[in-house]
Chains A and B, each alone.
Chain A
Amino acid sequence: MDSFLGISYPALFGQLMIGLINGSFYALLSLGLAVIFGMLHVVNFAHGAQYMLGAFFAWFLLNMLGISYWQALLIAPLAVAIFGVLIEKFLLSRLRGKDPIYGLLLTFGLAMTLEGTFQYFYGSSGRTYAVPEGLTGGLHLGFMYLPIYRAWVIVASLLVCAATWYLIEKTKVGMYLRAATEKSLQTQSFGINVPLLITLTYAVGAGLAAFAGVLAAPIYQVGALMGQNMIIVVFAIVVIGGMGSILGAVATAYLLGLVEAITKIYYPQGSSIAVFVVMAVVLMIRPAGLFGKE
């Protein structure tokens, strides 16, 4: 038997692989969103734009300065994180204490401006980014063909998610962070610089989005609108998982990536709406989300 429910093994595993890849990007993005939301109570609509910035940054570095993928993987997130610091310091911090809706609207305006600017200068069409040397080619596993770059994306995403989890749950900085998330004022009264923590949190979240963008550059086309469609799916994933826990966000992201892939096999027209349908069902059964605490 080399087929499963009428689908040949190479096709089946090929689709599941795509599901895991998409899940990897969803995980990195929803992780950043969850971390930012926990600390700032802001739904960062600019997350998709920051993902796009990361990819474009890598593209500039390679094509204008000849800086390689591996260096870009460090430089681009760092640059976007610094940009995030500026956004937090000069824009978001002015909204503290206001209705969280304003944070959403501000970052929405920011996303519009950024994406509009890139669309103006670089058009809507995507640019290709060559797969870095050392990660080209693939492995024949017998039941499927595995492109090495795609395997690397999954590994890198899992590693970064694990590192973020470790940082927040197991280190001292993470402890401060969790304390500030729970009780901001009390944490500050113990002499911890909460405004600084907030700025850093936003920077880390933006950096994570940019990291996902660099990872995505060789797989998807680098274009002004690459983050736009991603972000709404990620919002739905965040609603499904609930923004309460980091592991929950990551697990939900991979799960939904796979759900999307399986839908694509059996009902291709439905793959773009699969995540939203799951969200509707989860809202009916468990409004707080799969891992929500409410």
Chain B
Amino acid sequence: MADSSSIKSQWHMTAALAFVCVATLIAAPFFLYPILLAKLLCFALFACAFNLLIGYVGLLSFGHAAFFGIAAYTTAHALKEWGFAAELGLLIGVFVSAVIGFLIGLLAIRRQGIYFSMITLALAQLVYFFCLQAPFTHGEDGIQNVPRGLWFGLIDLNNLSALYYVVATLCVFGYLVIWRVVNSPFGNILKAIRENEPRAISLGYRVQRYKLAAFVISASLAGLAGGLKALVFQLATLNDVSWSLSGEVVLMTLLGGIGTLFGPVVGASLIISLESMLAGSEFPLQIILGLIFIFCVLSFSRGIVGEATRILSRKNSLPNSLR
């Protein structure tokens, strides 16, 4: 039982942490290359979207690259071929990934546990083959040289700092959506489904609808991340829909901490940093990622933030909102 002073101190802690995060986000481009930072934020949002399912509903989607990739393609196509403004292109990307998410979710929630993972993987592969053959994706070349244009007709996105701040704002928005979902009555029902699905059913909840809603939210936010990625790199390729990317987002979340709000951000930052460190070298990234995977599953399944929370909460000083 928490007394009012400890609740108050938790709020102070949360506010302080939020302040530090925002300050870091604002100051970061003065120290690091904005494109790398923007990439990092996109993947952090992608991992957070994925974590909404695995961490709070207990559904392991092995096909999240489908939503990321299809939105990247849609946004890139809308900007380049239709000449849409960036905000509209992103919106369409999110919409398409929400629709695909609805369709895939509808099928996948018909099975549980491990089957759910296999079905999402297989359906994502369907999306991959579609993108491989559809003419508008330009096959192996992908959609290149996507124009960034003006943000709401005002801010030139070819200015990299401006681009970074737009991406950062949208990623923070996505993150807040997830935070709101998780800390809402709806989120509590999702957690109840994760803990004990039959009990949630017997309490009268239409579990399938909740699962589907969570799936669509997660897919849409993954789509936002994908659309932003297309905007940042001016590129959408087959790699964005590939199942190795689906695996990578699982790894980011696992490494950072499944079911923690901040874990996926940490995991994504580490993996993206590792990738950019190894980008020039010959050393194969895949082997390292595979080994991290094995290590995390065997002896680090709480992830970095999960372990940190466990150690800190012994001292009882960490706000609940971060757990």
- Please tell me if B284 contacts chain A, counting CB pairs below 8 Å: yes
Verify B290–A239 contact, CB threshold 8 A. no
Verify A91–B113 contact, CB threshold 8 A. no
- Closest-CB distance, A232 to chain B (whole angstroms): 5
- Please tell me if B177 contacts chain A, counting CB pairs below 8 Å: no
Q: How distant is the Cα of A115 from the Cα of B285 in the complex, in angstroms?
A: 11
Verify A116–B284 contact, CB threshold 8 A. yes
Interface residues of B in 249-279 (CB under 8 A from A): 250-251, 254
- Closest-CB distance, B136 to chain A (whole angstroms): 15
Verify B250–A283 contact, CB threshold 8 A. no
Residue in B123, B132, B285 with the greatest tally of chain A CB atoms within 10 Å: B123
- Please tell me if A64 contacts chain B, counting CB pairs below 8 Å: no
* 6 pairs, A vs B, C-beta closer than 8 Å: A101-B60, A105-B250, A106-B298, A109-B291, A232-B125, A283-B119
- Please tell me if B26 contacts chain A, counting CB pairs below 8 Å: no
Q: How distant is the Cα of A109 from the Cα of B247 in the complex, in angstroms?
A: 9
- Please tell me if A136 contacts chain B, counting CB pairs below 8 Å: no
Q: Which residues of A contact B285 (CB under 8 A)?
A: 116
Select B298's contact among A91, A276, A277, A287, beta carbons within 8 Å.
A91
| CB closest chain-B residue, reference A113 | B290
Q: Using an 8 Å CB-CB cutoff, how does the interface string of B45-70 with A read, 1 for contact, 0 for none?
A: 00000000000000010100000000
Verify A116–B117 contact, CB threshold 8 A. no
Select A269's contact among B62, B133, B251, B293, beta carbons within 8 Å.
B133
- Closest-CB distance, B149 to chain A (whole angstroms): 34
Q: How distant is the Cα of A102 from the Cα of B298 in the complex, in angstroms?
A: 9
- Please tell me if B118 contacts chain A, counting CB pairs below 8 Å: yes
Q: How distant is the Cα of A148 from the Cα of B247 in the complex, in angstroms?
A: 40
> Beyond A43-B117, A235-B118, A236-B122, is A91–B290 a contact (Cβ under 8 Å)?
no
- Please tell me if B110 contacts chain A, counting CB pairs below 8 Å: yes
Q: Which residues of A contact B60 (CB under 8 A)?
A: 101, 104
Total A-B residue contacts, Cβ distance less than 8 Å: 116
- Please tell me if B129 contacts chain A, counting CB pairs below 8 Å: yes
Q: How distant is the Cα of A277 from the Cα of B293 in the complex, in angstroms?
A: 31
| CB closest chain-B residue, reference A37 | B114
Select A119's contact among B130, B133, B286, beta carbons within 8 Å.
B286
Q: How distant is the Cα of A109 from the Cα of B293 in the complex, in angstroms?
A: 5
- Closest-CB distance, A270 to chain B (whole angstroms): 9
Q: How distant is the Cα of A106 from the Cα of B297 in the complex, in angstroms?
A: 6
- Please tell me if A112 contacts chain B, counting CB pairs below 8 Å: yes
Q: Which residues of A contact B125 (CB under 8 A)?
A: 232, 236, 276
Q: Which residues of B contact A276 (CB under 8 A)?
A: 122-123, 125-126, 129
A residues bordering B, Cβ < 8 Å? 37, 41, 43, 91, 94-95, 98, 100-102, 104-106, 108-117, 119-120, 232, 235-236, 238-239, 269, 272-273, 275-277, 279-280, 283-284, 287
> Beyond A105-B250, A232-B243, is A110–B286 a contact (Cβ under 8 Å)?
no
Verify B111–A113 contact, CB threshold 8 A. no
Verify A102–B289 contact, CB threshold 8 A. no
Q: Which residues of B contact A232 (CB under 8 A)?
A: 121-122, 125, 243
Q: How distant is the Cα of A170 from the Cα of B126 in the complex, in angstroms?
A: 39
> Beyond A116-B284, A273-B130, A287-B111, is A108–B118 a contact (Cβ under 8 Å)?
no
Q: How distant is the Cα of A235 from the Cα of B118 in the complex, in angstroms?
A: 6
Q: Which residues of B contact A238 (CB under 8 A)?
A: 118
- Please tell me if B301 contacts chain A, counting CB pairs below 8 Å: yes
- Please tell me if B312 contacts chain A, counting CB pairs below 8 Å: no
> Beyond A95-B297, A112-B289, A112-B290, is A104–B111 a contact (Cβ under 8 Å)?
no
Q: How distant is the Cα of A120 from the Cα of B60 in the complex, in angstroms?
A: 29
Verify A283–B121 contact, CB threshold 8 A. no
Residue in A111, A116, A120, A276 with the greatest tally of chain B CB atoms within 10 Å: A276
Q: How distant is the Cα of A235 from the Cα of B119 in the complex, in angstroms?
A: 8
| CB closest chain-A residue, reference B284 | A120
> Beyond A100-B113, A116-B284, A238-B118, is A109–B133 a contact (Cβ under 8 Å)?
no
Q: How distant is the Cα of A236 from the Cα of B289 in the complex, in angstroms?
A: 25
- Please tell me if B115 contacts chain A, counting CB pairs below 8 Å: yes
Verify A279–B293 contact, CB threshold 8 A. no
Q: Which residues of B contact A120 (CB under 8 A)?
A: 284, 287
Q: Which residues of A contact B297 (CB under 8 A)?
A: 95, 102, 105-106, 109
| CB closest chain-A residue, reference B111 | A287
Q: Which residues of B contact A95 (CB under 8 A)?
A: 297-298
Q: Which residues of B contact A98 (CB under 8 A)?
A: 301
| CB closest chain-A residue, reference B54 | A101
Q: How distant is the Cα of A280 from the Cα of B294 in the complex, in angstroms?
A: 31
Q: How distant is the Cα of A273 from the Cα of B110 in the complex, in angstroms?
A: 20
Q: Using an 8 Å CB-CB cutoff, how does the interface string of B115-149 with A read, 1 for contact, 0 for none?
A: 10111011101100110110000000000000000
Q: Which residues of A contact B293 (CB under 8 A)?
A: 105-106, 108-109, 112-113
> Beyond A101-B117, A269-B133, is A116–B107 a contact (Cβ under 8 Å)?
no
| CB closest chain-B residue, reference A242 | B115
Q: How distant is the Cα of A98 from the Cα of B258 in the complex, in angstroms?
A: 15
Verify B294–A109 contact, CB threshold 8 A. yes
Select B290's contact among A109, A279, A280, A287, beta carbons within 8 Å.
A109
Verify B287–A280 contact, CB threshold 8 A. no
Verify A108–B121 contact, CB threshold 8 A. no
